[in-house]
Amino acid sequence: MINSPNSNPESDRPMIIDDSDRYSRLKLIAWWEQEKIAAARILVVGAGALGNEVIKNLALMGIGEINIIDFDEVQESNLSRSVLFRAAHEGQAKALVAADMARDLNPDCDINPIVGDILTDIGLGFVADMNLVICCVDNREARLWINRMCWKTNRPWIDGGIQEINGVAKVFCPPLGACYECAMTENDYRLISLRYSCPLLRKEDIQQGKVPTSPTIASIIGGLQVQEALKLIHDLPSAEGSALVFNGLSNNFYQTRYPRRPDCLSHETYDEIIDLPLMAKTATADELFVQLKKTIASQDLTDSSWQIIMDRDFLISLNCRTCGIERQEQIPLSRVSAEQGICHTCGEVCHPLTTSEIECDSELAKKTLFDLGIPEYDIIKVSDGLETLFVKLQNDSPQLSRHAVKVSSQPTNRTGSTSATFQCKEC
Ligand SMILES: [Zn+2]
Ligand SMILES: [Zn+2]
- How far does residue 319's CA lie from ligand 2's centre (Å)? 8
Instruction: Give the contacts of 164 (CB within 8 A, at least 6 positions apart).
Output: 212, 213, 214, 217, 248
Residue 287 has pLDDT above 60, yes or no: yes
In this structure, the number of other CB atoms found within 10 A of the CB of residue 47 comes to 31
Confidence of residue 413 (pLDDT cuts 50, 70, 90): very low
Q: Which ligand is nearest to the CA of 351?
A: 2
Q: Which of 152-161, 188-197, 233-242, 318-327 has the lowest mean pLDDT?
A: 188-197
Give the tens place of pLDDT for each residue, 103-158.
999 999 999 999 999 999 999 999 999 999 999 999 999 999 999 999 999 999 99
- How far does residue 130's CA lie from ligand 1's centre (Å)? 21
Q: Which ligand is nearest to the CA of 177?
A: 1
- How far does residue 323's CA lie from ligand 2's centre (Å)? 4
C-alpha span between 122 and 99 (Å, rounded): 18
- How far does residue 327's CA lie from ligand 2's centre (Å)? 10
Quick one: pLDDT at residue 317?
95
CB burial class (10 A; 0-12, 13-18, 19+) of residue 262? exposed
- How far does residue 203's CA lie from ligand 2's centre (Å)? 24
- How far does residue 264's CA lie from ligand 1's centre (Å)? 5
Residue 174 has pLDDT above 70, yes or no: yes
Fold classification of 31-257 is: Rossmann fold (3.40.50)
How high is the mean pLDDT of the chain?
A: 87
- How far does residue 157's CA lie from ligand 1's centre (Å)? 13
Q: Which ligand is nearest to the CA of 341?
A: 2
| Most distant CA pair in the chain, distance | 84
Quick one: pLDDT at residue 190?
84
Write out the DSSP string of 54-118: HHHHHHHHT-SEEEEEE--B--GGGTTT-TT--GGGTTSBHHHHHHHHHHHH-TTSEEEEEES-T
Write out the DSSP string of 163-183: EBTEEEEEEE-TTTS--TGGG
- How far does residue 190's CA lie from ligand 1's centre (Å)? 17
Instruction: Give the contacts of 11 (CB within 8 A, at least 6 positions apart).
Output: none
In this structure, which residues have their CB less than 5 angstroms from ion ligand 2? 320, 322-323, 343, 345-346, 348
Q: Within 13 A of 86's CA, how many CA atoms are on the CB side?
A: 4
C-alpha span between 136 and 125 (Å, rounded): 21
CB burial class (10 A; 0-12, 13-18, 19+) of residue 186? exposed
- How far does residue 326's CA lie from ligand 2's centre (Å)? 9
- How far does residue 52's CA lie from ligand 1's centre (Å)? 28
- How far does residue 351's CA lie from ligand 2's centre (Å)? 10
Q: Which ligand is nearest to the CA of 268?
A: 1
- How far does residue 353's CA lie from ligand 2's centre (Å)? 15
C-alpha span between 424 and 131 (Å, rounded): 13
- How far does residue 342's CA lie from ligand 2's centre (Å)? 8
- How far does residue 183's CA lie from ligand 1's centre (Å)? 7
Quick one: pLDDT at residue 299?
59
Quick one: pLDDT at residue 6?
45
- How far does residue 332's CA lie from ligand 2's centre (Å)? 22
Segment 220-246 shows an average pLDDT of: 97
Q: Which ligand is nearest to the CA of 150?
A: 1
Q: Within 13 A of 145's CA, how many CA atoms are on the CB side?
A: 19
Q: Could you tell me where in the chain the CATH 3.40.50.720 domains are found? A: 31-257
- How far does residue 318's CA lie from ligand 2's centre (Å)? 10
Confidence of residue 304 (pLDDT cuts 50, 70, 90): low
Give the global pTM: 0.87
C-alpha span between 55 and 83 (Å, rounded): 10
Segment 316-339 shows an average pLDDT of: 92
Quick one: pLDDT at residue 2?
43
Residue 203 has pLDDT above 70, yes or no: no
Q: Which ligand is nearest to the CA of 265?
A: 1
In this structure, the number of other CB atoms found within 10 A of the CB of residue 6 comes to 13
